[in-house]
Amino acid sequence: MGARGLYVGRRAAALLAALLLALLAALLALAALYGRCRQEAPPPPPSPAGPGPAAPPGPAPADGGSGRRLPGHLLPLHYDLELWPRVRPGQAGPFAFSGQVNITVRCRQDTDAAVLHSSGLRSRGAAVVRGPLPEPGAALEVAGLRQEEAEVAVLELRGRLRAGRRYVLQLGFQGRLEEGVDGLFLTRYTDQGRSSMLIASQLEPTYARRVYPCFDEPAMKATFNIRIVHDPSYVALSNMPAIDVSEMKDENGSLWTVTTFNTSLKMSTYLTAFVICDFDYVTRTERGNKIRIWARKEAVKNGYVDYALNITGPILSFLEDLLNVSYPLPKTDLVALPDFGAGGMENWGLMTFQESSLMYLPSDKLTSRKAMIAIIVSHELGHQWFGNLVTMNWWNDLWLNEGLASYFEYLGATFVEPKLSLDKIFYDHVVQPVLREDNEIGVRSLSESEDKIKGSFSLMSLFDSITYNKGASITWMLSGFLTEKLFMRALTSYLKEFSFSNANQDDLWTHIQMVVDAQDEVQLPASVKQIMDSWTCQNGFPVLTLNLTTGTISQEQFLNKKNENNTDSYNNTWIIPISWMRNGSSQPLMWLDKSSKVFPEIQASESEYDWILLNVNLSGYYRVNYDKLNLKRLARVLESDPKAIPAVSRFQLIDDVFALTQFGYIQIETALELTKYLAREDELFIWNVVLLNLVPENLEGTLKNYEVYPLLKVLFIKMLMLWKMTILLTCWLGLQDCLNLSSELYAKWMDNPEYKIPFLIRRTVCCYGIAVGSDKEWNFAWEMYNHTNSTKEDKDILLSAMSCAKESWLLYRYLQYGLSDTLFSSNCTSIIILYVVTKDIGHRIAWEFVMENWPLLSARYGKELLHDVLKIMGRFVNTDVQIQELQVFYNTTLEENERVATTLLLEFTKFENMERRELLTKVANWLQKNVDD
């Protein structure tokens, strides 16, 4: 960090790197997504004639794909697929693609119709059904091709397909190629000062049907022969290595390149992948596996993808050795896309990433950036086994893909970045956030029954923190009580049994049980299925209550006791592994397998130095509610010798007591008693959880309006005297040193636009550099936002930073800019409004702007923007007059049924704000008594 390294200190800098990495990775990891397919008859050559008569297009695709299941009469064995995107460099559009797919199927039940998935595609030429194979020339007459709702196409036949026989379905198709992030999409970008285009795909969960007619279900695996026709100036990539590159002419005599790829392994349709681009790459070979990292030529030339190349092979080898299962492909491509909707996608042999997830600037010396890339790359590499080699049978068990990959991402990242405390990031970034979400009655369980995930169910809703973070947390707990050695042995057995196939969670439990039964070191209180189903098939999680005097531990579901809808009728119980320590010494694992149980070994003596700690290092997915006696003893330990309690357990203690306060289990004063020791706390991830609870992110802009702010300022400044705190906190507190530093670094950037503000503090420096500056600083940010070489990541930072201005006219001008289609893409307008409305001086300006421009905003965004703004405006609603003011506007813009719901929401928000004010008054009173001026 150069001369400014003294600002946080050498050790603190490393920890700050880990903390802010976690915060950044949280934004990217929400989306860490997406794995594999044989040959019978090649597709006919591309037709030199123009497109034939087109059938009507299918219905508009449902958002996120539907859970409509196919009847199962036909099982795909092999696809011969040709794709031809009709794109030339420099073309303005509109663009289209065409193709031909020949699907070899086995008939499992007699039928007179072939039902498969197709969405938004037009038929091209006549559909043909050949067979039964291998009879030469045999075919069935096709009566018609009918498109049904729910993304399904039906080939009606004038004969019957017979069970046990094989057939080939031949379908030509065409579709629109649009700019987007799903299906087959086009992206425009700038490279070396020139405008360019690329074509890429994102097919998970159910977007393969938008690209080619197929059996688009994860259990309908097949092999694939893929051929891509493309402009000669581009290179084409797919799951397997290219085996032939040839030329052909279209109906106009124009030359096209045809790239043919080797036959794939057996895989699901959502794992097929296509990239057509003008990228460069760097390459190395690891254990015979050819690894290439593709990116914009400028990025490759500058060495931005060298780090990704250096870690990909070692992580793959590490996972091969750990799991004792070889990576089965001969090549691995990773592609950095300038615009991509996910952090990464695990397509077998052709992984795609958002640029920022794969690029490391050699000039950026902060290792946290490397760690973020290592985590994301490791997640997608983990999928090569969990998701690609073995795929969940249906989306209800998506956690078998994403939860396990989210667990292995930390093992792989730790292997290549051992100096960083990635275990602490795991608790801060994975476990703690999902504990904050998984506590309401409406939250789903980790694994649902297949019957629930069907029909119009939006599959994209499953790609959430429950699937990723809870799945990883449960896996962490499982590995802990089994021991990692037994857990890996079970996973090896599971992977080998279901390679190139599908499994559900019961299959995993079976293989773990087999390993447990074959040894006698680890003894479980019930079957693996009984234990684990209590965690995966029930929503929520337990809170354990300890009575130190009697040695009793009881469990109940952790729910908000202040919410009248949370009744006692929810009697979920879990089989809970309890790791614990007494007076700093680890003790043997205990199990709670009923609602309450007495453990004589944890009864305390009368000595005030006799204390108990449960759930050591947050090894279990639950919270702990200690009685007052034990809490008092723990507080004493923290004040006298905080290191006697492990760092992760200190983190857990703080987070648990504040969560228990929020949900009505204990009083806020009890939680605050545990913060008295913080002057001696040197772990940044623990400070992060303290700040999260005392200064919630959604209150950062409004907390200054409460009397607690100056008291918190006194508290934190006292801590700063003893230990250098983060730049973000110190700027928020208004400390002049921090504001001066932000101005200095921002001015240095203005003097030399080539200068790079250190990545970890770039967002904070830009925000406060603009906040303490004038229109000169704001205008520079605007200029850099529009600079052609600005990365998407930098643009996102500047988009936020420009809302930090303290002058009203600048914020109003910014909002006006947001309305312009020529200055911003339409999706930026709502983001700008939401950024401004969260600021302490911006919420009123943004609200008046929304009211003034509602006709235009409503036409562009509908009611969604209004609902988003309302959620944020709710923080500022404290009186009936304010509610009435908002209500007048809603009465003129909302339908009658929406008005009722809005009124209720406003009233609830007012109640929440009153509760918050009451809570913060208690905090202020406690601080007045416990913090000296």
- Closest among 42, 26, 50, 40 to 77, alpha carbons compared: 40
First-to-last alpha carbon distance for the chain, in angstroms, is 34
- Which of helix, strand or coil describes residue 644? helix
Tokens read off for 755? 């200068």
Cβ atoms of residues 391 and 34 within 8 Å: no
Token digits of residue 845: 């300006």
Query: What is the crossing angle of helices 842-852 and 808-819, to 10°?
Result: 40
Q: Of 780, 843, 786, 764, give the one whose Cα is nearest residue 811.
A: 843
Q: How far apart are CA 722 and CA 333, in angstroms?
A: 49
Query: With 0-12 CB in 10 A as exposed, 13-18 as middle and 19+ as buried, what is 572?
Result: middle
DSSP string, 13-70: HHHHHHHHHHHHHHHHHTTEE--B---SSPPPPPPSS---PBPPPPPPPPTT--BPPP
356 neighbors 28 (Cβ within 8 angstroms): yes
Cα four-point dihedral sign 305, 311, 313, 319: negative
Name the catalytic one among 380, 402, 448, 683. Answer: 380
Backbone φ/ψ region at 673: left (φ over 0), alpha (ψ -120 to 50), beta:
alpha
Which stretches does DSSP call E strand in 517-575? Answer: 542-547, 552-557
In the chain, how long is the greatest CA-to-CA distance? 94
468 in catalytic set = yes
CA atoms of 818 and 830, how far apart (whole Å): 8
Compute the distance between CA of residue 9 and CA of residue 78 in angstroms, rounded to an integer.
60
* Active-site residue, from 212, 468, 665, 706: 468
**The two three-digit tokens of residue 219, written as one number:** 């259990």
User: What gap in Å lies between CA 907 and CA 630, rounded to an integer?
Assistant: 39
Whether the Cβ atoms of residue 399 and residue 467 lie closer than 8 Å to each other: yes
Query: Cα–Cα distance between 153 and 146 in angstroms, integer?
Result: 6
What DSSP character marks residue 339? S
Contacts of 785 (CB under 8 A, 6+ apart): 795, 798, 799, 802
Q: Which residues does 211 contact at the CB level (< 8 Å), separation at least 6?
A: 83, 97, 99, 175, 183, 184, 201, 203, 274
| Paired tokens of 849 | 């702007």
d(CA 819, CA 855): 12
Tell which residue, 334, 280, 328, has the closest CA to residue 310: 334
Handedness of CA 362, 366, 368, 369 (dihedral sign): negative
Going through 66-151 in order, the beta strands assigned E by DSSP cover 74-85, 95-107, 111-117, 122-123, 128-133, 139-140, 142-148
* CB 201 within 8 Å of CB 184: yes
**Helix H or strand E segment including 530:** helix 528-536
Please give the Cα distance from 894 to 902 (Å, whole number): 9
The region that residue 147 occupies, defined by phi over 0 for left and psi between -120 and 50 for alpha, beta otherwise, is: beta
The number of C-alpha atoms within 13 Å of 81 and in the hemisphere containing its C-beta is 27
* Residues involved in catalysis: 380, 468
